[in-house]
Amino acid sequence: MGLRKATLINAVTRRQRPYRNNHPLAIPRTALAIDLIRAYDALNEDEILPGRVAEVEELAWFHTGDYIAALRAAEANGALHHEDRARYQLGTVENPYFEQMFTIPARATGGSIQAAEEVIAGRIAFNPAGGMHHARAASAQGFCYFNDPVLGILRLRQAGWRVLYVDIDAHHGDGVEEAFLADPEVLTLSLHMDTAYAYPFRGGRLADCGSAQGGQSTINVPLPQGTHDAEYRLLFDAVWEPALEKFRPDAVVLQAGTDMLAADPLGKLNMSTECFLDIAKKILDTSPRHADGTPRLLVTGGGGYHPLLLARAWTGLWALLSGRELPAAIPAAGAAALRGADWLADEDEPYFSNLFASRVDHPEPGKISKQIQRIAEDIPRHPYFRT
């Protein structure tokens, strides 16, 4: 298999460590993934595009002028305005103040707009710094300041395309769902930890179908704690192809957060890197195509709070998207980059010399819980499939 036309957006200009040490995002993420990809020599110079900062007018396709101005002012003044903290959920533990708190998220967002333009131009695009799916039009939520998936989708909509958004991050893609509730040309599909036990603690139920505007524009698959590979595959297969066939999108946007992986410190699911990559491959193989066969697929990063798991999963993902086969044994330079992440790998350490393996050891690997079985039976009864 030859290389596909694929672009990796590098929306991190240098090693950014903007968050305080106790924040889950105070770890190397995109830069580490790109280091590992380069260690594999799996990125040609004509495949990488530096991310650009989104223009204020672009951010305003979705975000309110007041909210954008508040972030710009915080960056310019080196501090948040007191009133802006409560008004926009800024300066909280979840959405802390940091230097360049406008520029860094605006660059991740510019990257997703560029990714959309690459897809329109006939290439697959991957923006690992993107995937900030919780941000709202007028507030930050859940570590997310600007909602780059929404803006990437809006760029595809400007080309007149119908978009299927699929979110495999461990958390409900609530900000993207909310943004497109009233747009019948965008279908959002999210598989995530049930909000009965996980952030954002509301919405995201199977029954929540976004019928507020009279249409059904969203499909949610809540996952029980400890959902493992065989269970995830069962639910994904129950929902993916039926959604694709019914909606018939012009393009697919995949939010590929890695916090669904077993060892993630914030995730409570039990999936392997191999399963993550299999799901991404199914999406790649079934996405709509350009005339030359290139998938019309935009991929963003997302959550993922275990840097070694994340870098390995996104390296495997880039290989898949770009049409490369990588050996499982991580090259010496890659191993050095992972060690340099300064992360206490504890019980997972023995697995980190292999790109695809991880610590998932089910006593009965194929056993599907009754709860999962029930969800699989309920999916075809979802209003989207019935109408």
Binding site for Zn ion (CB under 5 A): 169-171, 257, 259, 303
Query: What's at 364, amino acid-wise?
Result: E
User: Rounded CA gap, 30 and 376, in Å?
Assistant: 34
Q: 89 — alpha (psi -120 to 50), left (phi > 0) or beta? A: left
User: Rounded CA gap, 144 and 247, in Å?
Assistant: 28
Pick the closer one to Zn ion by CB: 42 or 166: 166
Alpha helices by DSSP H, listed for the chain, are: 30-39, 56-59, 65-77, 82-88, 103-120, 148-158, 174-179, 229-247, 273-286, 307-322, 332-340, 370-378, 383-386
Q: What's the closest the beta carbon of residue 200 comes to Zn ion, in angstroms?
A: 10
Pick the closer one to Zn ion by CB: 164 or 310: 310
> Residue of minimal CB distance from Zn ion?
303
Q: What's the closest the beta carbon of residue 219 comes to Zn ion, in angstroms?
A: 18
In order, the DSSP letters of 166-213 are EE-SSS--HHHHHHTTT-TTEEEEEEEE-TTTSTT-S---TT---GGG
Active site residue 290: no
Pick the closer one to Zn ion by CB: 84 or 259: 259
Q: What's the closest the beta carbon of residue 198 comes to Zn ion, in angstroms?
A: 9
Q: What's the closest the beta carbon of residue 339 comes to Zn ion, in angstroms?
A: 26
DSSP 3-state of 127: strand
Pick the closer one to Zn ion by CB: 144 or 164: 144
Q: What's the closest the beta carbon of residue 261 comes to Zn ion, in angstroms?
A: 11
| Strand-strand pairing, 6-10 and 48-50 | parallel
| Catalytic, out of 23, 81, 82, 134 | 134
Q: What's the closest the beta carbon of residue 303 comes to Zn ion, in angstroms?
A: 3
Helix, strand, coil percentages in the chain from 3-state DSSP, rounded to 5? 40, 15, 45
Tokens coding 304: 């993922």
Handedness of CA 357, 360, 361, 362 (dihedral sign): negative
| Strand-strand pairing, 163-167 and 48-50 | unpaired
Q: What's the closest the beta carbon of residue 222 comes to Zn ion, in angstroms?
A: 14
DSSP 3-state of 251: strand
User: Rounded CA gap, 176 and 147, in Å?
Assistant: 8
Please work out, in degrees rounded to the nearest 5, the angle formed at the alpha carbon of residue 187 by the alpha carbons of 182 and 189: 125
Pick the closer one to Zn ion by CB: 136 or 171: 171
Report whether 185 contacts 162 (CB < 8 A).
yes
Q: Which are the catalytic amino acids? A: 134
